[in-house]
Amino acid sequence: MRYIVLLAFLAAFSIQPAFAQKTPAKNGDESAPAATSSLPDRIARPMIAIDPVTLKAEGFEIRLWGIKPASSSDSSLELKALDLLDDRIDGQVVNCKIEGGQLPVLSGRCVVQASSDLALELLNNGLAVRDRRQTYNTPFASAYGQAEEFARLNKKGVWRYLAEGEKTQGGTDMSGLLTLAVIVSPLLGMLLVGGALWFWLSRMSRAQQADSDAAKRKEAILQARERQVLLTTIEGELVENKNKTEAFLVIYGDMLRSLSDTNEVPKYQQVGDIVQKYPSFSKTVFEANVNKLSLLGIKLAGQLSKLYAAIPKDQEYINLEPGVPLETAMQLVQKVMKDAEAMLPEFDTAIQALQVAAQQKSD
């Protein structure tokens, strides 16, 4: 039954056009997805889970449509939801059908390449509950409801804690016995009250400590994920800059050989030419994450800051007029190539340092 429900949901998900307008709510139904012409219809890119119902990519967050976090006094339920999302995503590209929201926080239905719908996965395992306001009178109401019912009948996740709570409600009420003990023996009553108070305070202290430990673990997990994302994105930008430098050297190497060819008149002596002083480097990722460099440690953060400080931000050009002597033009091209070549070892060293850091656990 579970797989039939999942197939029905995926069929309904896939038949909607990639750039179709969302249908306006009927009869005043505010739970239906609203048309949002300024938002993309779909977003597909790598993402990570930051809480039981929210995914994050660079520059925005997507809250899973149609579900809400499952509430329980046991904080491990939230960590189980995060673990399930990590397992299902597993580095894959997440494809989200955007249902609403406002940048940087959007709402959408998200699947991974294995056609696993993340909201249904959470519902099937009792790690989220259906948002009836959103799913009411939509094509997905039945599939979401059946997934939630499956978890409830099988006592999964939050439904297990709910079932255990109902069993304990029929316990013995000790208030009458306590009152009787106080009446019969004031001393016994004082001992019972003191013992109960001590037990309650001890239990509350343990619960607070457990909540604090769980919060610290969650914070450490989120920080480790954020650090890995930062290492990966900066490494990608540096690899891109290295590739641009190598392409730059190929282009101007060809130009230098052409200038050295005595059998033809150089192009610049005919109509003039323009020489770039250095490759068109990118600094966007680094500048957007400067405030997060502390996650990488003092040494690596300092190394990256020094490297990016040496990268020119704006491109500069040199005009080669037809009257410039050939020897001067060749020296100019050799100079820009030498400056570009000097950047390659710096890029290699930084990329290797990022790769080593990615394989280590954050402090």
pTM exceeds 0.75 for this model: no
**Residue 271: its pLDDT value, please?**
85
Q: What is the pLDDT of residue 45?
A: 92
d(CA 178, CA 204): 21
Nearest-angstrom CA–CA distance, 314 and 284: 12
- Which pLDDT score, from 0 to 100, does residue 167 have? 65
362, 227 Cβ separation under 8 angstroms: yes
Per-residue confidence of the chain (363 residues) as pLDDT tens digits? 444 434 444 444 443 433 333 434 433 344 444 444 588 899 999 999 999 999 999 889 999 999 999 876 667 888 998 999 999 999 899 999 999 999 899 999 999 987 678 999 999 999 999 999 999 999 999 999 999 999 999 999 889 888 777 665 544 445 555 555 567 668 777 888 888 889 989 888 899 898 888 888 888 898 889 899 999 999 999 999 999 999 999 998 988 898 888 888 888 888 889 898 889 899 899 989 989 888 988 999 999 999 999 898 788 899 889 888 989 988 999 999 999 999 999 999 999 999 999 898 644
Q: How far apart are CA 131 and CA 70, in angstroms?
A: 11
Kindly list the domain boundaries of the chain, sorted by start residue. 2-160, 229-358
Q: Are 55 and 84 in contact, with CB atoms under 8 Å apart? A: no
Decide which of 3.40.50.10540, 2.40.30.10, 2.40.50.90, 3.50.50.60 is the CATH code for 2-160: 2.40.50.90
Query: In which region does residue 104 sit, left (phi positive, over 0), alpha (psi from -120 to 50) or beta (all else)?
Result: alpha
For residue 279, what pLDDT is reported? Answer: 92
- Rounded distance between C-alpha atoms, residue 358 and residue 235, angstroms: 10
Q: Please tell me the predicted confidence (pLDDT) of residue 83.
A: 92
CA distance 12 to 6: 10
- What pLDDT, on a 0 to 100 scale, did the predictor assign at position 220? 85
What was the pLDDT predicted at 164? 78
